Structure formats: C-alpha cells, structure tokens
Structure 1
Amino acid sequence: MAKPVYLSAEDHERLSAAVGEAEMHSAGEIVTVLADRSDGYTDVALAWSAIIAFLALGALVIAPDFYMGLYDSLLADWGHEWTPRMILGLAGGVAAIKFGAMLLLQLWPPLKFWLVPARIKTMRVHAHAVRAFRIGAEQRTTGRTGVLIYLSMREHRAEIVADRAIAAKVDPQVWGDAMTAMLAHVGKGRICDGMVVAVGKVGAILSEHFPRADDDVNELPDRLIEI
C-alpha cells in the first residue's frame, strides 16, 4: 500500500522557509519530521485476534448447538454422533477462523488504528520521536541546541524533543503552546499551517533562551523529513 502524500512541494518549501526564518533569530536548530505512522502495531493486531478467538471459544461453550448444527448442515452427514475428537476439531476450527478473520479486518488501517489503545499510541509515538531525534538532531549541533518537531499522522499525535542544552533551560511544559497550536490546525486538515505555526513558536522560545551569535552557522538541514 502506497504511503499517503500529506504535503505538496510548495508546502515543503514553505516549511523549510519557516525553519530558516526561525533559526535566523536564535542559535537553535529546528528539525521537522512528518511520519505516516510511528509503529506497525502488529502485536496489538495479534492480541485483538487472539481475544476474538477466545471469545468465539467461549460462545461455543455457552451455545454449542449453534456451531454443531452449522457444522452438520454444511459439512457432515445428518444424524452422526459427535466424538471428543470432532468437538475439539470444531473448537480449533472456529478459533482459527475467527483469529484469521479479525487479522484480515485489521488490514484496513482506519480500523487497525482505531483499535489501538490511546496509551499505546502515545508511548509508541514518543519512542519513535526520540529515536528520530537521536538520529537527526541529538549532539549534531555545536552547543547541543537541536529541537525536533515530530508529527505522526495515523496516531494523531505530536512530540517536541529538545537536546541537552535546551532541556536544561526550557521546561518541557513550555512546548505545550506550540503543540496545541499545531494540532489545532492539523485537526482541520491544515498540516503545513500547523507545522509552520509550531516552528514559529519554537523559534520564539529558542531566540529568548539562545539568541543568535554573529558567527552562528546552519548546522542541520531546514527541509522536512518524511518517514
């Protein structure tokens, strides 16, 4: 399945320009990352399939006549006698069919991501944002002044991760305003607008705590990274 295209070439240029403008007023370096998703959630899909299979087995215990009658009408001769082996086979077959059907249903992304618990989404997005930060920004600036703005579309979540020097001066709660402003736009389908607003607010915070020096150079690319 092809990855959705969230931003146009013009949006990329606009966002890069916003990053460049924000960095003109501070020694900080801003990295923007747009992810289609932060995890495949295969473990969650398997867990849901197992739950459905166990529920089907429970239903077989509660109402065995339904499944046994269905089996008789479709596959077996009328009036045969059920043996323990046949009952175990029926139970295994029902569980396998339910497991496979639930797994196939979750190939439809909207259902798959709807079934992922919110807490797990938040944890996975945070973990992926931290990994992206370590690859793209951490300790890659002279003064350790890199900031990552990370947006994960499928999970409807965002993260702002700062390098050591910034984290020592800026309380993590300070990024809340930038996050809220970004998600307000993204929630209405204005992805580029949201990221541009976030870049501007992060840039304002950086300029306050890390003003630009005369010899400052651009150490990290301004372009958006899509993953």
Structure 2
Amino acid sequence: MVRAKLTEADHAMVTAAVARAEAGTDGEIVTIVANQSDSYHDVALHYALAGMLLVIALVGLNPGGVEERLGWFSNGWERQPNPANLVFAILIVETVTFLVIRYALAWTPLRLALTPKATRARRVRRRAVQYFKVGAERRTQARVGIMLFLSLDEHIAEIVADEAIHKVVPPERWGDAMAALVDKVRVGQPGEGMAAAVAAIGAIVAEHFPKTEGDRNELPDRLIEL
C-alpha cells in the first residue's frame, strides 16, 4: 500500500479552503491528517492464534496421518509412536506456525491489508472522536465546531461535529464530501481531496449557520498533520 504524501502546497491548499468555507458560515472547520489510526498489532496476534488452532483442527481431522508423518519422534519409525512425543511435535508445529504468522504480520502493509475493513473503520472513527474531544469539541461559543479527519494508511476519513451541528445535519449529508475526499486519496491526491471535502462541508454548515456580523475565528484554519 502506497501512502499518499502531503506537501507544503497541500497544506496551503487545505488552509485556504478552510478560510474560504468559513467565510460563509459561523461554523469552525478543523482538518487533521494522521498517517495511521492504530497499530493493529492485536489483529496480527489473532491471526497467529488462529493459525495455532488450525494446526489442532488439522490434527483432529486426520490423526492417523499425523502419527505416520511424525513417527520419527518415537525411536525410529515405530508403528505406534509415543503419544508424549506426538504431543511435543504438535506443540513445536504450533509454535513455529505462531511465530511465522506473527513476524510476517509485523510488516505494516500486510497487517493492514489483512485487517477487516469494519475493524479499520471502527479504529479510525474512535481516533477521530478522540482528536475531536481534545481539539474541537465545545471550543466554540456556539458549539459549531466540526472536524474532518483523514487516516492515510487506512484510506478512511471521518467527520465529527459539535452538538449544534450534529442536531441539525444528519450523518448522510456528509456522504458527498467523504466520497470526494476518499476518491482523491486513492489516487494520491490527499490535499485536493481534503480541500474538496472542506468546501462541501462549509456549504452544508452554511445552510444552517450562515455567517453573522459578530462571528470570530475561534479555531485554527491550518491543516494539522500528526
């Protein structure tokens, strides 16, 4: 998996897009990009444990074949191998299986590729909510903060809104903004995707929270890269 890179031009593009979007609304848009939302080491562990269980399952399906192949553990090729030696041999195979899978999945691209999409989506959402609580939630007087979060390695984005926006904008309204962003990320243009998504978000928020005379800029416009 190739990670899309954010350049200085991308940062400038997104920052300018936020400024333009906020010119028409009292809403405050925060943009955050992270390389990865989770290490997914637990997923690698689950695969390794599943491999060990598969060894046991195969032994259970064909115990005679296992005895035949592992007979050399019991004083040569005896007809009835020593059960203790067979158990020991099976444990060795399980250990090797566990280590091979575990270390193969130490390579991040493979680990990510084998992580179920639903798991990746949940982890990205959880990370987005954490960042929102720290950096944007209730940081504006009118509770009109909204965060666009992009996790590059997962190619997944999330939009998290403050309570005032959340009450009046249903989640499905953000669909076009999310699609525009993810499509651009997949072709290696995260800056353009973020800028397009920001424009769409600004237009939606402006419908409910148009710019007022006393509005002030309460949250930073710059793209935050973690």
Paired position in structure 2 for 1:124: 123
Structure 2 stretches lacking a partner, 5+ long: none
Paired position in structure 2 for 1:28: 27
Asked whether the 8 Å contact 1:26–1:210 carries over to 2, the reply is: yes
Indicate the larger mover: 82-91 or 11-20.
82-91
1:86 is aligned to 2:88: no
Asked whether the 8 Å contact 2:29–2:147 carries over to 1, the reply is: yes
Q: 1:181-220 counterparts in 2 under 5 A?
A: 181-220=180-219
Paired position in structure 1 for 2:51: 52
**Residue 125 of structure 1: how far off its partner (Å):** 1.4
CA distance in 1, matches of 2:165, 2:196: 20
Asked whether the 8 Å contact 2:17–2:198 carries over to 1, the reply is: yes
CA distance in 1, matches of 2:133, 2:5: 24
Asked whether the 8 Å contact 1:45–1:103 carries over to 2, the reply is: yes
Paired position in structure 2 for 1:68: 70
CA distance in 2, matches of 1:77, 1:38: 53
What SS does structure 2 have at the residue aligned with 1:134? helix
Paired position in structure 2 for 1:180: 179
- Specify whether residues 66 and 199 from structure 1 end up closer, same or farther in structure 2 by C-alpha distance, changes over 3 A only: farther
CA distance in 1, matches of 2:69, 2:222: 59
CA distance in 2, matches of 1:195, 1:5: 12
CA distance in 1, matches of 2:141, 2:68: 70
What SS does structure 2 have at the residue aligned with 1:124? helix
TM-score (normalizing by structure 2)? 0.89
- The amino acid that maps onto 1:162 is A
Runs of 4+ more than 6 Å apart: none
**Residue 30 of structure 1: how far off its partner (Å):** 0.5
Paired position in structure 2 for 1:18: 17
- The amino acid that maps onto 1:87 is L
Asked whether the 8 Å contact 1:60–1:67 carries over to 2, the reply is: no
Indicate the larger mover: 193-202 or 9-18.
9-18
**Residue 35 of structure 1: how far off its partner (Å):** 1.7
CA distance in 1, matches of 2:42, 2:27: 38
CA distance in 2, matches of 1:60, 1:94: 11
CA RMSD after TM alignment: 2.0
Paired position in structure 2 for 1:135: 134
- The amino acid that maps onto 1:224 is L
- Specify whether residues 201 and 124 from structure 1 end up closer, same or farther in structure 2 by C-alpha distance, changes over 3 A only: same
Aligned length: 220
- The amino acid that maps onto 1:114 is A
TM-score (normalizing by structure 1)? 0.89
CA distance in 2, matches of 1:188, 1:5: 8
- Specify whether residues 77 and 9 from structure 1 end up closer, same or farther in structure 2 by C-alpha distance, changes over 3 A only: farther
**Residue 65 of structure 1: how far off its partner (Å):** 4.5
- Specify whether residues 67 and 144 from structure 1 end up closer, same or farther in structure 2 by C-alpha distance, changes over 3 A only: farther
Asked whether the 8 Å contact 2:4–2:152 carries over to 1, the reply is: no
1:168 is aligned to 2:167: yes
CA distance in 2, matches of 1:194, 1:19: 13
Deviations 1:2-32 (A, max 9, x none): xx67201121112111111111111111111
CA distance in 2, matches of 1:104, 1:129: 29
